[in-house]
Amino acid sequence: MKNYKIAVLPGDGIGPEVVRQAVKVLDKVAEKYKFSVEYYYADIGGIAIDKTGEPLPKTTLSVCKSSDAVLMGAVGGYKWDNLPGDIRPEAGLLGIRAGLGLFANYRPAVIYKPLRDASPLKDRITENGLDILILRELTGGIYFGDKKRIVTEDGEPAAYDTMIYRKSEVERIARLAFEAARQRNKKVTSVDKAYVLEVSRFWREIVINVSKEYPDVALNHLYVDNAAMQLVIHPEQFDVIVTGNMFGDILSDEASMITGSIGMLPSASLGAESLGLYEPVHGSAPDIAGKDKANPLAVILSAAMMLKYSFKLKEASEAIENAVVKVLEDGLMTGDIATENAVVIGCEQMGDEVVKRL
């Protein structure tokens, strides 16, 4: 029987409770599809700061490196909000992405039929469903460029962050976008700010060059402000959206809301090696932590992505997705997605209901 080692980083806030549900689901699906899983728990974010003074202890990174995949909850909370930038919980998240070389972040935004009423968009817009893949560059751009607090020549305090992309960084993410589109509806939209930013003009040139290797995939370009608008008026035009780190951060939150709730959106972060990290797009939601109110479906769907992308267990992955859809069809929903006639259930029960339908 094939055995998979999974590093589990529950993190802060609702992280531990939602991750617990995903672990239950993984156990069940492993039993059903005859493989085994071993979990190696480690700390990241605020809890790691409390225990060790660092948001990403070295042991956590090495646990991840010796695993087949990483399952993560969320990081951050009020308690750590006033710490300096490099020891904030979020630094742990950026550190693990960079430390594992995870430059490609896949954020699928799908409207599930039973959740159409949870979408803030009008029915006529979501009528034919929605299935967008946002591919966000994750280890470059303004998140990782040089940054500093300075004093200007005339003595005024100032700060800067640098948005920088290397050719190879744009090429590799563009390639993955075209590859992904080949498996889908064969359309890539590259999002930039090319009429203002030099780095965007550079990005666009490189994407166009890479596109020549993929004549079967259509390519268009949108400015990020227009893309934000198009996502709410004509979301059906999108198949794969490829963009840099910060634009991808913002657009994926927007895309998540049009599907009903950010509590539904999974993500996969991959690099050149096979090791991948799977985490919900949502944050740690400290206001509802420990209240059994959180929606565990984003991390459960992230576990499904793990089976598909890292372990190539397509059938088991789809079994999880189908079980999630069944729970929703049966009208069982957490508070964040509850439509009019839904029965509102808690985090723990949501995990159990998915397991039952597996």
| DSSP 3-state percent helix, strand, coil across the chain (nearest 5) | 45, 20, 35
Output 14 or 210, the one with its CB closest to Mn ion.
14
Tokens of 2: 């094939």
Q: Exactly one of 225, 287, 312, 330 is catalytic; which is it?
A: 225
Decide if 41 is catalytic.
no
Residues pairing with 151 in the sheet: 157
Residue 121 tokens, joined? 């968009």
User: 190, 134, 202, 195: which is closest to 163 by C-alpha?
Assistant: 202
Binds ligand IPM by CB under 6 A, chosen from 249, 321, 336, 353: 249
Which one of ligand IPM, Mn ion, none is in contact with 163 (Cβ closer than 5 to 8 A by kind)? none
- Tokens representing residue 158 in the block: 């100032």
By CB under 6 A, which span of 40-48, 89-97, 113-121, 347-355 interacts with ligand IPM? 89-97
User: Closest-CB residue for Mn ion?
Assistant: 249
Closer of 285 and 342 to Mn ion (Cβ): 285
**Residues 253, 292, 326, 352: which is the catalytic one?**
253
Sign of CA dihedral 52, 54, 55, 60: negative
291 catalytically annotated: no
Nearest approach in angstroms of CB 283 to Mn ion is 7
Alpha helices (H) along the chain? 15-33, 46-52, 58-65, 89-99, 123-126, 167-182, 198-211, 224-233, 245-258, 297-309, 314-329, 347-356
Would you call 43 a catalytic residue per the annotation? no
The one catalytic residue in 143, 165, 214, 309 is 143
Tell the smallest beta-carbon distance from residue 56 to ligand IPM (Å): 12
In the complex, minimum distance from the CB of residue 253 to Mn ion, in angstroms, rounded to a whole number: 5
Residue whose structure tokens are 């993955």: 176
Which residues carry out catalysis?
143, 193, 225, 249, 253
Chain contacts with ligand IPM (rule: CB under 6 A): 90, 93-94, 249, 281
